[in-house]
Structure 1
């Protein structure tokens, strides 16, 4: 979102995400295969970590908060999530961000929607990934675990309903076997009424 910080260098933007600035681009995805260390760390977090880790702040503040609650065997997950947070920070141009790492065991958001944020960055570590579709289409796409999804929200400069992308959490109640999703969501620091901490 270049207009958020006019002094930001263009070279700092990860090449895979540069298309998000185009007026006709509402979603960018990056294929990513997590290593065994991150996969095992995510499973350990699901077994021993908090159900929700939610913080607002700089990367340094987020790192300190995350390390304070880090269960044994989850270091690789923390390092990966913080690396993604740094990417989002460079992309959005914000000094602070909202960092949400959450275990989801239910149908958290079944309806397709657009968020009230400029940009939303998602990565599902365990379980099915985010589902999305174009507003003018009934075709539903499901994102594999580990992939990165960047979505324009309604607050993105110049956002319009034309070819907008809607998304939702995959309905877990439809699955035959219970699943725990571990979802990382990165946003602008004021997302969802987040209070300054």
Structure 2
């Protein structure tokens, strides 16, 4: 998968003012490197073999397994912190996405977090204080985002939330944060969670050193 990071690929679908990009292949993620793009999404379907193991992991929420290291080692480093065994297909996918993210940010190491989320504590719209962040929801409702950019826009959205877009489970999203420049962060939030909604299984990849473990 990481080979696609060697060169730019044409955008598949551009959002309003070309600030968001969507595609059906991993090359769509490369568009986040363009200065005008704040959100790049690779729409994909997860293998059915992943679903049962992801459901078991999500059901054990809350938990958070984190590690910093090279893509080929960071997944193994979180295994002891998981509440139950993870399916091999999931672990291989985590490693592939870690390698992809490392190639895009031009680093040898990444910061990986796999979380079982049973609340909506991150329900306010916000822009992250990071450079780039990768998100992928393996189980449950996906991250919600707005066609806005910047921390100021996030505050306005929190006061009167507009209709949000929601990423499907399995889709991979790269979001710019405010560390790329004030007013450039993608505005997003965790989906509001009802009492009967299932817990989420969420992958977060960050540049090492940006966010404390």
Q: TM-score, normalised by structure 2?
A: 0.76
- 2:143 aligned with 1:147: no
Give the equivalent residue in structure 2 for 1:167: 188
- 2:175 aligned with 1:179: no
> How far apart are residue 72 of structure 1 and its match?
3.8
Give the equivalent residue in structure 1 for 2:55: 43
Q: Does structure 1 conserve the Cα–Cα contact (< 8 Å) formed by 2:72 and 2:99?
A: no
Q: Distance in 2 between matches of 1:67 and 1:98?
A: 15
Q: Does structure 2 conserve the Cα–Cα contact (< 8 Å) formed by 1:89 and 1:95?
A: yes
Q: Distance in 2 between matches of 1:187 and 1:125?
A: 17
- 2:7 aligned with 1:11: yes
Question: Aligned match of 1:109 in 108, 117, 122?
Answer: 122
> How far apart are residue 48 of structure 1 and its match?
5.6
Give the equivalent residue in structure 1 for 2:21: none
> How far apart are residue 102 of structure 1 and its match?
0.2
Instruction: Name structure 2 gaps, 5 residues minimum.
Output: 10-25
> How far apart are residue 56 of structure 1 and its match?
1.1
Instruction: Name structure 1 gaps, 5 residues minimum.
Output: 1-8
Q: Distance in 2 between matches of 1:47 and 1:112?
A: 26
Q: Distance in 2 between matches of 1:73 and 1:96?
A: 22
| Secondary structure in 2 matching 1:40 | helix
- 2:207 aligned with 1:188: yes
CA RMSD of aligned residues (A): 2.4
Q: Residues 46 and 166 of structure 1: is their aligned pair in 2 closer, same or farther, counting only changes over 3 Å? A: same
> How far apart are residue 57 of structure 1 and its match?
1.3
| Secondary structure in 2 matching 1:192 | coil
Q: Distance in 2 between matches of 1:50 and 1:78?
A: 19
Q: Distance in 2 between matches of 1:191 and 1:65?
A: 19
Q: Residues 152 and 95 of structure 1: is their aligned pair in 2 closer, same or farther, counting only changes over 3 Å? A: same
Question: For each residue in 1:107-132, what CA deviation from the matched residue of structure 2 results, as whole angstroms up to 9, or x when unmatched?
Answer: 12011111111100000001100000
Give the equivalent residue in structure 1 for 2:113: 100
Q: Distance in 2 between matches of 1:63 and 1:148?
A: 17
Question: Size of the alignment, in residue pairs?
Answer: 181
> How far apart are residue 74 of structure 1 and its match?
1.9
Give the equivalent residue in structure 2 for 1:120: 133
Alignment of 1:69-88 (within 5 A): 71-72=84-85, 74-88=87-101
Higher normalized contact order (CA 8 Å, seq sep 6+, divided by chain length): 1
